[in-house]
Amino acid sequence: MESRALGTLSVSLVGLGCNNFGMRIDQAQTQAVVDAAREAGITLFDTADVYGGTKSEEFLGVALGSHRDEVIVATKFGAPVGEGKSGARPGYVKAACEDSLRRLGTDRIDLYQLHMPDDATPIEDTLAALDDLVTAGKVVEIGCSNFDSTRMAAASSASSAKGTARFTSVQNQLSLLDRRQEADTIAACEAHGLGILPYFPLASGMLTGKYRRDAEPPEGTRLAGLPSERREKALSDRTFDTVEKLEAFATERGHTLLELAMCWLAGLPTMSSVIAGATRPDQVRDNAAAVGWTLTADDRTEIDALTKR
């Protein structure tokens, strides 16, 4: 597994998203997924306090056990996890960190990320609190999520002005089926030295080939559990038109749709790790093995045409 730098950290090119832990899979299933990830060379495990109703962090901590120091643990704060427990005000940042440390059963968080912007709290105040956590050794690197270029620029300026810790990563939604934030995110990351950690890189499984036009989504899949209106939108003919074109592109070149989705992301500027969720060990192994195809400039031009909307 290729490793890439993320601030002072070294992370595997494929990471494991832990949003299913405590929600779609139990502790035993989580253990199997985590074990498979480690065996496949995955070192980045990305969770959040809100995932699984706070159970994801607990499940991950137990599953890592004595292997904790062999991996990079990333988690997030800021999404609502209870009354009065949300946002990025300094007092809450520190309290949320202590809660996450306890649930994870660890003495440090390798990458601590603000899950979503809190425009009611000055970013310099949030960064000062995060800097205190870094100084205390409770956090190694800090990152943001769902930030646009304007907010990333403001955070970078605040860090420079105050001499506080800087965001080293941004976690935004990005895939071959959702490129709306691509240009904005890449430009900001290049300007401010951030690495990209895309979430939903496989578009909830649409880029794995598991869903077929005019067929019900397989039982137990993410899209099968969506409300009917959202499911119909995700499984629209327009989406399948694009998916089928991409699958044909990959097949003609001796690759799978999954490999195309993962390798397209891996080749983008400032890409640090492609974080893909999984509920089964075989999914983890497939994701880990899907990188390695280097797309040419001509390939990317053709893909741009296939995914243009």
For the chain, the first-to-last Cα distance in angstroms comes to: 33
Task: From 47, 6, 49, 19, select the one nearest 169 (Cα to Cα).
Answer: 6
Phi, psi of 28 (to 5 degrees): -65, -45
Amino acid at 245: K
Concerning whether 51 is annotated as a catalytic residue, the answer is yes
Q: Are 197 and 171 in contact (CB under 8 A)?
A: yes
Alpha helices in the chain (DSSP H): 27-39, 55-64, 90-104, 123-135, 149-162, 182-192, 228-234, 237-252, 257-266, 281-289, 297-307
Catalytic residue positions, numbered: 51
